[in-house]
Amino acid sequence: MERSKIAKLINDYMDALRDGDYSLVRFSPNVRFLGPLMNSPIEGKSKVVEFLADVSKGVKDIRVRQHIIEGETVCVLIEFETVKGTVLPILDYIQIGEDGISYIQPFFDPRPLIEEE
């Protein structure tokens, strides 16, 4: 996939995290998501979108600080601000396949989110 198409795909994903509308994001049918408190990944487009839509309910803002695209691997450094005002630095590791995003793994310290609850 061309670099410009990958950049648009990542921007669409970041916008979706912010607003909760994943209809414009191209996910692979077999996309997998593995968060820091998960023992195994969530698998499949519908399950991943359902999980991410729930995450988006707690998002006030997503600020992209930097993204690195190397072939079909992308790392995105973001500031994730919750509706309660907590700001978390997150590094999203994302793999891109022929049919869209195929793997997402965010790296961050989840303790502030646990303390928010």
Give the model confidence (pLDDT) of 68-101 as tens digits.
Answer: 999 999 999 999 999 999 999 999 999 999 999 9
pLDDT at 94: 98
| pLDDT at residue 114 greater than cutoff 90 | no
Placement of tokens 């601000």 in the chain? 81
| pLDDT at residue 116 greater than cutoff 80 | no
Would you place residue 113 in the very low, low, confident or very high pLDDT band (cuts 50, 70, 90)? Answer: confident
In 2-110, the DSSP E strands lie at 27-33, 42-43, 59-70, 73-82, 87-97, 100-107
**For residue range 46-77, what is the model confidence (pLDDT) as tens digits?**
999 999 999 999 999 999 999 999 999 999 99
**How many Cα atoms are found within 13 Å in the side-chain-facing hemisphere of 10?**
27
Task: Write phi, then psi, for 116 (nearest 5 degrees).
Answer: -70, -30
Fold of 3-116: Nuclear Transport Factor 2; Chain: A, (3.10.450)
Residue 83's alpha-carbon distances to 51, 55, 58, 110, in angstroms, are 17, 11, 5, 15
